[in-house]
Structure 1
Amino acid sequence: MIIDRRRFLAVTGAGLAGAMGLTKLSLAANPSGEALHGLSAFGDLKYPKGFTHFDYASPDAPTGGTFNFQPTYWYHNQNTQTFNTLNSFVRKGDAPPRMEMCFDSLVTSAHDEPDAVYCHLAEYVVISEDRNSFTFKIRDIARWHDGTPITANDVAFSYRTLKEQGNPELSLPLASLIEARIDGPMTVTLVFDGSQAAQDILSIAGFPIISEAWYTENTFDESTLTPPLASGPYKVGRMNPGSFIEYERVDNYWAKDLGTAKGLNHFQTIRIDFFKERQAGFEAFKKGDITFREEYTAKSWATEYNFPAIKDGRVIKALFDSEKRARMQAWCLNLRRERFLDKRVRDAIAQCFDFEWTNNNIFYGAYERSHSLFGGSQYEANGKPDASEKELLDQLGSEHDLPDGIYEEAYLQPKSDGSGRDRNKLRGASKLLAEAGWKPGENGYLRNDSGETLDLEFLIYASVFERIYGPFIETMRAVGINTSLRLVDPAQYQARTSSFDFDMAGLAIGWTPTPTASGLEVVFGSKAADTEGSRNLPGLQNSLVDAIIYEIGAANSRERHETAMRVLDRVLRLTREWIPNWSSANHRVAYWDIFGFKEPKPDYFWPVEALWWIDKEKAEKLGKG
């Protein structure tokens, strides 16, 4: 599952904050007591007050037409293979991707800056002198889709409700919010207790604003297929639960002429069709029912994109550079299961995966081995710690136990001989399991002193993984692990991972360009380990990790932030709760040649559905006008 916190995401460390005090959002870039049109973490804003549009926007592009695609990222409880609710901001249920396009937020991100947000629903923001309060003036022109004004009551209601009942990705970052105070009909102040990380406001101010009036008549946390009252550039149109949903462009969208929205959202209709299996979706694309597809299956990209529409040029096959942001794709073992608590067991399981064989024989050489949880970025640890990393480690080591090898070369996943049966790796895995107390028993399976077998159920939600993980499963069985592969439907997968009912599962994350402490805590923080619906799937509870996340939030310079991120990467790679697997440096994209788009694409986020448009001449040529 891909999680992207550019807009709606961003907690532990409160005790540390009380003792040490957090460095607040950069004073130079974000002075207190002034009406600011935007905020940034460490540097000045690229766009001045009153800017007409973002550089990557296309104000002269035509509007209209339908964009039918399969989403490449999603949020919260959203599911790309089915949906049974339109409530996208709670834990339960399966919501359709892009419900977020129906909602506005106080600020919106700039996709060509690493950590800048600009006032959107808010006209401006004022930071208090103690930098614990943020006062937002709501724009007088802001309107819900029914024409009624958006007020401070709606904003205050939104933050109170999301803190109490929202999805953990929304509620956990709001732990330090003590008040959403209404200071006037169009003015609201978010007051924090001082334990918040410095950059948290950048993500928190981007949370969705919901209607107090609508949710007074409707229960916030219920699963519902009634479209909620919203205010964004799109609203829910036709739908068939579990089959398809269409979002219709709001022609009289209140913000269409603002610099934060002008030149974006050109399609009249955005349609998402849901397929439980990738092959059905691929066949729909080949027929032209779907017009944009990003391919994540290397075998398909190498062997199946040779159909007539590719050969005659009606479909374009292209590579687009990945964004300048950290990527994580990894498996985890559930530490809530006692048999996985011993790091040697997790290490042995990691040894059983032969990436080199898999890449050559299944992936067509399309991937690179992942070693880091922040791969492809400046946050990835390499070699031995540099001077700044060593200084931070020394500081942390005075109060926490540091993992063995932390001052050595950054840990790399073991490389195999590519045979698919590397005897050295198998011997190493067997040795680790023996040291952890697992001994050969009946039927060749390992058992502990209580006679229990070392059972492992690998949870998946798509049959394509059966081919990929099959050799991995067989290797685990060869060393005595009683391994099985369990394929469940997408709704079951979401329910089981959200409630931590699994042995082993996978997760993919596209981090924000400047990861925030609150976003990291949802995945790695101790508090999230017991919060169902969080992304701390392994149940990691580690005071050292919490302390490093605190340092990331307290960083008062980009250099300090990067140092703390690399230290976090070093520690997580040594403790082995997560097993990184593979990554790609490009978007593998195919699309019917009916679109116009602006190049180059923005560096930090690429929402094609908001940036591209229908080229009417091209569309008519292909009979899709």
Structure 2
Amino acid sequence: MQLPWPSRRQFLKLTGAAVAVPLLGRPVFAETPTETPLHGLSAFGDLKYPPDFTHFDYASPEAPTGGTFNFQPSYWYYNQNVLTFNTLNSFVRTGDAPPRMEMCFDTLMEDAWDEPDALYGLLAESVTISEDRNSFTFKLRPEARFHDGSPLTAEDVAFSYNLLKEKGHPQLALPLAEMVSAEASGEHVFRLVFSGEQSERTILDVVEYPVFSKASLEGKAFDSSRIEPLLGSGPYQMGRFSADRYIEYDRVEDYWARDLPVRRGLYLFDRIRIDFFRDRNAAFEAFKKGEVFWREEFTSRLWATGYDFPALRSGKVVKQEFPEERVADMQAWALNQRRARFHDARVREAIGLCFDFEWTNRNFFYGLYERSVSPFENTDFKATGASSPEELALLEQFRGQIPEAALGEAVIPPVSDGSGRDRKLLSEARRLLTEAGWRPRGQFLQNEDGERLTVEYMVRDQVFVQVTTPFIENLRAIGIDASIRMLDAAQYQARLATFDFDLVGFRMTLGATPTRDGLELVFHSKTAKVEGSRNLPGTADPAVDRLVELAGRAASRDELITAVRALDRVLRARRDWIPNWYSPSHRTAYWDMFGFKEPKPDYFFPVEALWWYDEEKAKAIGKA
């Protein structure tokens, strides 16, 4: 049933005078001047840096350039893959592209990594918002150049936005759904127009899209068949590469934007290299030998016991933890509700009860992880305890259409007895499955149609087989025909993109300021059938859709927190995702040949952009 959207008057009746949170009130950019050129944008009008700032506080203009940074990336975007690559187009759904391709392309505006939602002009010298807030006019910097020396103009920007709307990866195309036009109004003036149905924070997402050269792409396919680099304009350009083995990015010595405030003191390495390893042990051995210089350790066994080798004992390698960013961090398993046997929330809850985090953390993780309970860990957006009056006011309009548990205490996974096979929890799982119509027939459970309850857990690394085998064994102990299927990197990526799985693990961040577009990609019904989206469980719930839209209309950070916490309560009560574990810090190790500024930025940690090569340190450890 489609839920009616309440009018402002109805909404205020629902909330009551004591908790009148005006989520349908003033626009997001109400405090931002219209028809005035602006040097930056933020969700709620607050900018840390003035128009005449010279560089970001976390940048290092005094640091030298030079050296090679050979590292193992800890995050990636779009169709990128850290195990292999077979295309150099990182911005389409299909294929496997190498990480960090985005460094080769400039964008209209650039994030500030020490602010939760602020962006400042890169290609755009300024942006002007129309009075109706549906049109954005960008004055481009005339000095902008592609790597071949050709000028970057408004025609290239317009071409890029229209191309990405039509053929881009879903994470890029979907936020452009309400884009009415992207057009050049002159050689250096670009205008982006929306229908009015877009989220008011959509602009904050789309101004960071890559800009391509129209001349270099016209008449050529924009798809995953490309094994030649696209012409870019960013701080790096493609260097040497060997598909499936390694890729190098070379710093552009005469980069047109190197002295702009948003770029000064960043991207200091002459070369950035990524080697591809199909096996985690091989990757670790390459690091120990000094073939790779930096890595973030995600295997707790290695962190606890493996960092005891000669280079570390002699001080050539440093082992250091950095605090996690203050962004919504989500790590969980998704049960694919496109398959009928997972429609019932009781089935999903029962499967979740079979995971013994306490035993797993002690026996596999050396106590290094914490239990994840929410898609919004590490932030104020995570719901805790009972609903606040403001949260409850939002949820009440959906009573009867959302799980009753969403209206009570925030749902959290139960704590096990740590035995690895908690009889109380497994008994409750059996009860829920019986209630949902699954009964034992022989070794496994079946429904009244004789269908067996099967769960195949899809993974791409042996480490997940080891860690989750006890979980699978618990599922089998209660009558579920559970198994693990390990695939190679390309097969895994293809099946993930086409939702061809039962159960899969995933980690993603939803940002320091979750936007409607970002939330839609993961939770909204419009993305449930869009291949390549991150709505892995196939969530399609009108109440969730409305809460996502409410979050998109929040006019202050407090209102956004209220709306997202209400959404969090519903998502957790629906059991779409089975939360598993997370680390509150980056566990890193690196060869001691780099300089960096501390503390790190609060909202992003791209070491390849922040750190620099220290020649004296490199000489001291024999790496110069």
Which interval holds the TM-score relative to the shorter structure? Answer: over 0.9
Question: In structure 2, what is the equivalent of residue 480 of structure 1?
Answer: 479
Question: In structure 1, what is the equivalent of residue 373 of structure 2?
Answer: 371
Question: In structure 2, what is the equivalent of residue 421 of structure 1?
Answer: 421
Question: In structure 2, what is the equivalent of residue 495 of structure 1?
Answer: 494
Question: In structure 2, what is the equivalent of residue 592 of structure 1?
Answer: 591
Q: Which runs of 5+ in 1 are unaligned?
A: 1-11
Question: In structure 1, what is the equivalent of residue 450 of structure 2?
Answer: 451
Aligned-partner residue type, residue 388 of structure 1? E
SS for the counterpart of 1:573 is: helix
| Alignment map for 1:173-572 (pairs within 5 Å) | 173-397=175-399, 401-442=401-442, 444-572=443-571
Per-residue deviation, residues 151-182 of structure 1 (Å, max 9, x unmatched): 11111111111111100000011111111122
Residues in 1 aligned to 2:5 and 2:562: alpha-carbon distance in whole angstroms: 22
Query: Is 2:155–2:183's contact at 8 Å kept on the other side of the alignment?
Result: no
Question: In structure 2, what is the equivalent of residue 38 of structure 1?
Answer: 40
SS for the counterpart of 1:248 is: strand
Per-residue deviation, residues 263-290 of structure 1 (Å, max 9, x unmatched): 0001000000001111110000000000
Residues in 2 aligned to 1:368 and 1:17: alpha-carbon distance in whole angstroms: 42
Question: In structure 1, what is the equivalent of residue 56 of structure 2?
Answer: 54
Aligned-partner residue type, residue 556 of structure 1? A
Q: Which moved more, 1:129-138 or 1:14-23?
A: 14-23
Aligned-partner residue type, residue 403 of structure 1? P
Aligned-partner residue type, residue 291 of structure 1? F
Query: Is 2:5–2:546's contact at 8 Å kept on the other side of the alignment?
Result: no
Aligned-partner residue type, residue 429 of structure 2? A
Query: Is 2:88–2:224's contact at 8 Å kept on the other side of the alignment?
Result: no
Question: In structure 2, what is the equivalent of residue 118 of structure 1?
Answer: 120
Query: Is 2:249–2:271's contact at 8 Å kept on the other side of the alignment?
Result: yes
SS for the counterpart of 2:590 is: strand
SS for the counterpart of 1:117 is: strand
Query: Is 1:14–1:195's contact at 8 Å kept on the other side of the alignment?
Result: no
Residues in 1 aligned to 2:533 and 2:56: alpha-carbon distance in whole angstroms: 33
Deviation at 1:387, TM superposition (A): 1.5
Residues in 1 aligned to 2:102 and 2:71: alpha-carbon distance in whole angstroms: 16
Aligned-partner residue type, residue 24 of structure 1? P
**What is the alpha-carbon root mean square deviation over aligned residues?**
1.7
Residues in 2 aligned to 1:22 and 1:215: alpha-carbon distance in whole angstroms: 44
Query: Is 1:447–1:453's contact at 8 Å kept on the other side of the alignment?
Result: yes
Per-residue deviation, residues 104-149 of structure 1 (Å, max 9, x unmatched): 0000000000000001001100000001000001100000001111
| Alignment map for 1:140-155 (pairs within 5 Å) | 140-155=142-157
Per-residue deviation, residues 439-497 of structure 1 (Å, max 9, x unmatched): 1112x111111222111110000011111011001110000100110000111111001
Residues in 2 aligned to 1:191 and 1:554: alpha-carbon distance in whole angstroms: 19
- Cα distance change of structure 1 residues 273 and 478 upon mapping to structure 2, 3 Å threshold: same
- Cα distance change of structure 1 residues 404 and 125 upon mapping to structure 2, 3 Å threshold: same
Query: Is 1:22–1:198's contact at 8 Å kept on the other side of the alignment?
Result: no
Question: In structure 2, what is the equivalent of residue 8 of structure 1?
Answer: none
Per-residue deviation, residues 47-73 of structure 1 (Å, max 9, x unmatched): 111311100000111111100000011
Aligned-partner residue type, residue 535 of structure 1? R
Aligned-partner residue type, residue 126 of structure 1? T
Aligned-partner residue type, residue 564 of structure 2? M
| Alignment map for 1:8-19 (pairs within 5 Å) | none
Deviation at 1:25, TM superposition (A): 3.0
Residues in 2 aligned to 1:43 and 1:13: alpha-carbon distance in whole angstroms: 32
| Alignment map for 1:53-202 (pairs within 5 Å) | 53-202=55-204
Per-residue deviation, residues 366-424 of structure 1 (Å, max 9, x unmatched): 11111111111101100000111112223454xx7132122211001011100011110
Question: In structure 2, what is the equivalent of residue 26 of structure 1?
Answer: 29
Q: Which runs of 5+ in 2 are unaligned?
A: 12-23
Runs of 4+ in 1 over 6 A off after TM superposition: 12-22
Question: In structure 1, what is the equivalent of residue 603 of structure 2?
Answer: 604
Per-residue deviation, residues 495-548 of structure 1 (Å, max 9, x unmatched): 001000000001101221101110110111111001000001111101111101
Residues in 2 aligned to 1:25 and 1:491: alpha-carbon distance in whole angstroms: 41
Residues in 2 aligned to 1:373 and 1:622: alpha-carbon distance in whole angstroms: 42
Residues in 2 aligned to 1:171 and 1:17: alpha-carbon distance in whole angstroms: 30
The TM-score with structure 1 as length reference comes to 0.96
Aligned-partner residue type, residue 50 of structure 1? D
- Cα distance change of structure 1 residues 74 and 117 upon mapping to structure 2, 3 Å threshold: same
SS for the counterpart of 2:192 is: strand
Residues in 1 aligned to 2:45 and 2:125: alpha-carbon distance in whole angstroms: 21
Query: Is 1:236–1:246's contact at 8 Å kept on the other side of the alignment?
Result: yes
Query: Is 1:92–1:223's contact at 8 Å kept on the other side of the alignment?
Result: no
- Cα distance change of structure 1 residues 517 and 16 upon mapping to structure 2, 3 Å threshold: farther
Deviation at 1:217, TM superposition (A): 3.7
Query: Is 1:356–1:417's contact at 8 Å kept on the other side of the alignment?
Result: yes
Aligned-partner residue type, residue 329 of structure 2? R
Residues in 1 aligned to 2:391 and 2:315: alpha-carbon distance in whole angstroms: 51
Residues in 2 aligned to 1:145 and 1:17: alpha-carbon distance in whole angstroms: 51
- Cα distance change of structure 1 residues 141 and 223 upon mapping to structure 2, 3 Å threshold: same
Residues in 1 aligned to 2:527 and 2:574: alpha-carbon distance in whole angstroms: 18
Aligned-partner residue type, residue 547 of structure 1? R
- Cα distance change of structure 1 residues 183 and 505 upon mapping to structure 2, 3 Å threshold: same
Aligned-partner residue type, residue 597 of structure 1? F
Query: Is 1:440–1:446's contact at 8 Å kept on the other side of the alignment?
Result: yes
Residues in 2 aligned to 1:531 and 1:64: alpha-carbon distance in whole angstroms: 43
Per-residue deviation, residues 197-243 of structure 1 (Å, max 9, x unmatched): 12111111111111111110421124211111100000010001010
Aligned-partner residue type, residue 159 of structure 2? F
SS for the counterpart of 1:530 is: coil
Residues in 2 aligned to 1:449 and 1:390: alpha-carbon distance in whole angstroms: 39
Query: Is 1:597–1:613's contact at 8 Å kept on the other side of the alignment?
Result: yes
Deviation at 1:23, TM superposition (A): 4.9
Deviation at 1:559, TM superposition (A): 0.3
Query: Is 2:595–2:613's contact at 8 Å kept on the other side of the alignment?
Result: yes
Residues in 1 aligned to 2:222 and 2:326: alpha-carbon distance in whole angstroms: 36
Question: In structure 2, what is the equivalent of residue 5 of structure 1?
Answer: none
Question: In structure 2, what is the equivalent of residue 9 of structure 1?
Answer: none
Query: Is 2:293–2:590's contact at 8 Å kept on the other side of the alignment?
Result: yes
Question: In structure 1, what is the equivalent of residue 16 of structure 2?
Answer: none
Deviation at 1:15, TM superposition (A): 8.5
Residues in 2 aligned to 1:409 and 1:484: alpha-carbon distance in whole angstroms: 34
Query: Is 1:328–1:508's contact at 8 Å kept on the other side of the alignment?
Result: yes
SS for the counterpart of 2:348 is: helix
SS for the counterpart of 2:601 is: coil
The TM-score with structure 2 as length reference comes to 0.96
Residues in 1 aligned to 2:195 and 2:578: alpha-carbon distance in whole angstroms: 36
Per-residue deviation, residues 83-113 of structure 1 (Å, max 9, x unmatched): 0000000000000000000000000000000
